[in-house]
Each structure stands twice: as structure tokens, then as C-alpha cells.
Amino acid sequence: MHHANHYYGHSHVLARYCGLDDRDPPRIHGYLQHGWNIGDGLADDHEFVTGTPILVWSERTRRRAWSMGRREVHVVGAPFAYLLAMAAEPPAQRDGTIWYPFHGWEGQHVVGDHARLVDQIRATEPGPVTICLYWQEYRSRRVRRRYERAGFRVVCHGYRGGWWQDLDPAFLDRQLAELRRHARVASNRLTSAVFYGALAGCEPAVYGDPMLLERDAAAHGGQARVRRQWAELHGERVDPVLARAAAVSELGADRLLPPAELRRLLGWPNPYQPAYVDDGALLAEGVR
């Protein structure tokens, strides 16, 4: 099982949906898309073994993967969409904005002016603001304190996990809980979090300095393509109806599979029947 299948507790959420033990998910037979992207669903830095199934979130991603030469590609929907389908009714009261500054990752740090972003957020958001930082930025006292000094509440959903270590099965649960307490979700780039928020009922927005990644290769057209292809999702005010429709499409929320079919595609056992049947024992018990 590729270690990225565990990112953000994705395998744990899918195991829960499939009726399996979500504390110890079975091995997924394939590569599971772990974040929204404009390519074939795979991360550019992950090695790919030809012939291994690719499990993507949406039909649009499946078509792009096919055009790039990938063949065994299946649409399964985003784990967040499954989590939302299992969740209880949201609270009636929502207030303020949860804001996700664009972040780096373990191999690349983000380069940008957080002070300028603070000013843009202050000038735009009318209610209380929660800033959600990726664990790297949250651990940086310099970055975290900049937002705290601005009077914002600062949180971190947790560590995404890596190489089968420090896994966090509750990452998406915490993210969903935070999204549901806020009326708006915003970021300086169109990302998974914005689509998650739109699907969870938040009014989305994408504005501010998009910042840069160190040594960014701008694969598949980069930010220029994102802003061109999803222009209607950028701005301080975005049509929530259009945004939700886009979120349903990009997260495959209209393509969620029943548990039995999802287990089959993931290569998981059926929890309601034994993996091995002793015919002799069954016959002795009168089972035909």
C-alpha cells in the first residue's frame, strides 16, 4: 500500500464507510488521489508502477489521466465526501470565516508575504476569522504569531502522516467540524479545502497574494490555468450555487459508491462473510 493512501486519514475514513475497522484499515490495492489537482490525480513526486490501479476523485480527473496515458483509472470520489455523507446534521449556527493560507510541504516551503495577506483578510472578512495553518507553518512561531497578533484564532487540523508514521485518522473529522462552524471558507489559492468547505455548506472565496512554492515547476499549467479554467471560483465573493456544483463535480460527491462496490475497487474484504469457508463444517451444521 502506498504510504500516501493514509494521508489525512483517508484510508481510515473509507474503512469506516465500508464497515471495516477504521483503526487499522486494510491495504488499498492502488494509488488513491490524496488532494485536488489539475493533473491525473497523482502527486508529481510519487513514483508510479505501471499497471497499478489509480483511484481518483472525479470523472474529470479520470478523463485527464486517460489523456495522459493512464489506463486503469477508477472514479471513487473523495474521502471527504464520504465523511460528509456519514456525518450527522450540521449545527444551525455558523459564524465568521475559516481562512487557509497556501502552504508548502515537507519538500518545498512557501514563499510569500504573510503581513500583506493579514491586511487583505482584515479588509475583506466582516466576522471573526479562524486561520488554519498547515503543520509546518503552525510550528513556525514567526508565521503563527503574525496571525495571532492580528487577532485571529489560529488552528491546525493536524499532521497528515507520512511513510506509515504519525498517522492521524481524525484529521478530516476535525476539518469538517471546523468548516461547519464557519459561514465562509477562503484561501489565496483554489485548493481541496475550498472545495471541502463549499460542499459542507460554506460560502467560498479565493483572493489575496497566491504566494509561491520554492522551486515550483508549475506542472500542468500551474496557477495560470487554475485561474483561467475556474475563474468563477475566484474573488472575494463567489456564487455559492456555482461553487457547490463545482465542488460536487471535483470531489465526485455525485459518484460515491455503495460500500460493497467501494470495497471491491479498493481490494478490501467483505466484513459480512468469512474470508475462508469450510464447506465440510457448514454441511455438518446443516447449511446447504
User: What's the alpha-carbon Rg for the chain, to the nearest Å?
Assistant: 20
Q: Are 240 and 203 in contact (CB under 8 A)?
A: yes
pTM: 0.89
Give the closest residue to 120 by CA, choosing from 240, 236, 238, 239. Answer: 236
Strand partners, 213: 110
Is position 273 within any domain? Answer: no
Is position 281 within any domain? Answer: no
Is position 288 within any domain? Answer: no
Span 177-189, mean pLDDT? Answer: 96
Are 145 and 242 in a shared domain? Answer: yes
Give the closest residue to 208 by CA, choosing from 108, 115, 104, 98. Answer: 115
Taking only the tens place, the pLDDT of each residue in 2-51 is 778 888 899 999 999 999 999 889 999 999 999 999 888 887 666 677 78
Is position 108 within any domain? Answer: yes
Is position 123 within any domain? Answer: yes
Is position 287 within any domain? Answer: no
Give the closest residue to 192 by CA, choosing from 170, 178, 175. Answer: 175
Is position 29 within any domain? Answer: yes
What is the span of the domain harbouring residue 48? 3-85+251-266
Is position 139 within any domain? Answer: yes
Q: Are 99 and 202 in contact (CB under 8 A)?
A: no
| pLDDT at position 282 over 50 | no
Are 175 and 229 in a shared domain? Answer: yes
Give the closest residue to 200 by CA, choosing from 103, 125, 88. Answer: 88
Are 187 and 104 in a shared domain? Answer: yes
Are 79 and 144 in a shared domain? Answer: no
CA pair distance 156, 132, nearest whole angstrom:
5
Are 114 and 62 in a shared domain? Answer: no
- Residue 279: what pLDDT? 46
Q: Are 121 and 208 in contact (CB under 8 A)?
A: yes
| pLDDT at position 64 over 50 | yes
Taking only the tens place, the pLDDT of each residue in 138-148 is 887 888 999 99
The domain tally of the chain equals: 2
- Residue 213: what pLDDT? 65
Strand order in the sheet with 31-32: 31-32, 54-56, 73-75
- Residue 107: what pLDDT? 55
- Give the model's confidence band at 62: pLDDT under 50 very low, under 70 low, under 90 confident, else very high: very high
| pLDDT at position 234 over 70 | yes
| pLDDT at position 286 over 70 | no
Span 126-131, mean pLDDT? Answer: 94
Q: Are 62 and 73 in contact (CB under 8 A)?
A: yes
